[in-house]
Amino acid sequence: MDDKKLWQLYAKTKDKHIKEKLILKYVSIVKNVAGRLFSSYGNNVEYEDLISYGIFGLMDAIEKFDHNKNVKFETYAQIRIRGAIIDQLRNLDWVPRSIRQKHKNIERAYFELENKLGRYATDTEIAEYVGISKRELDNVFNEIHTLSVVSLEEKISNNSSFSIVSNYHEYNPDKTIEKEEIKAELIRSLENLSEKEQMVIKLYYYEELTYKEIAHILNVSESRISQIHSKAINKLGTKLSNII
């Protein structure tokens, strides 16, 4: 049975066996989305938990998908699955307060030390400045990276006009225009980043390179890439808060 007939049959019967077939057919989307988020969130979450949250998102997508609309299910499902995972993580409030405090401390340390030195501070200098070892600093960078990504994801997922899911069932010209304006503003906001910050964002999100690969290209440490990424995400997050 081809995809179109399968969707038509499920829409007509809501048969649980057909739904199971659809879940098995598209479960790879859950794995892809969960894998991408897991790589962003680091060791602070379990991959299996992300899969579980994503399955609920897939089930919801199957239930609400209208195969008569001119939208590919894969595109629709990715957004539903991603949203379900992020919503669940937010509901669990899984980011410890200690990580948020470390985030502030390290950002302040970079600001103070770089103003004093008149140049970028090295990882070793930052570690000495805050009184921790280089290994502890690396761990903090991993935590900061997780927090910065989650913060931006939450801002985006909290804004219904920024998601095509909210406009899927009902066309609203005003909302469509608003969403396009937001996208355009976000693109323009990249221009507010430094050249190196823009490079890191583009290589990480558009080219999907790892920190290690980006560090090699820019000839800096992985920790430095993490710090640059965190600063860029914070700037974009502030910009996003101002426009949505």
Lowest-confidence region among 38-42, 72-76, 155-159: 155-159
- 23 and 84 assigned to the same domain: yes
79 and 171, same domain (yes or no):
no
- How many secondary structure helices (H) and strands (E) does the chain include? 11, 0
Could you tell me which of 84, 44, 80, 83 has the C-alpha nearest to residue 64?
80
Cα gap 171→24, rounded to integer Å: 31
pLDDT at 96: 59
Least confident segment among 104-113, 141-150, 196-205: 141-150
For the ranges 101-105, 136-140, 156-160, which has the lowest average pLDDT?
156-160
Percent of the chain with pLDDT over 90: 15
Residue 39's CATH number: 1.10.1740.10
Those residues with Cβ within 8 angstroms of residue 191's Cβ, 6 or more apart along the chain or in another chain: 198
Are 135 and 78 contained in the same domain?
Answer: no
Indicate whether 191 and 239 sit together in one domain: yes
Domain range holding 22?
3-92
Same domain, 143 and 203: yes
Rg, C-alpha atoms of the chain: 21
* Between residues 238 and 188, the one the model is more confident about: 188
Please check the confidence at residue 67 and state whether its pLDDT lies above 60.
yes
Residues 132 and 229 in one domain: yes
Residues 223 and 108 in one domain: yes
Reported as a single tens digit per residue, the pLDDT across 19-37 is 999 999 999 999 999 988 8
Which residues does 226 contact at the CB level (< 8 Å), separation at least 6? 141, 142, 144, 145, 211
Taking residues 208-228, report their average pLDDT: 81
Pair 221, 162 in one domain: yes
Is 166's pLDDT higher than 70? no
Question: What's residue 77's pLDDT?
Answer: 92
pLDDT tens digits, 87-122: 887 776 555 566 667 767 877 887 888 889 888 778
Looking at every residue in the chain, the average pLDDT score rounds to 75
Please give the pLDDT value at position 162. 42
Same domain for 162 and 57, yes or no, is no
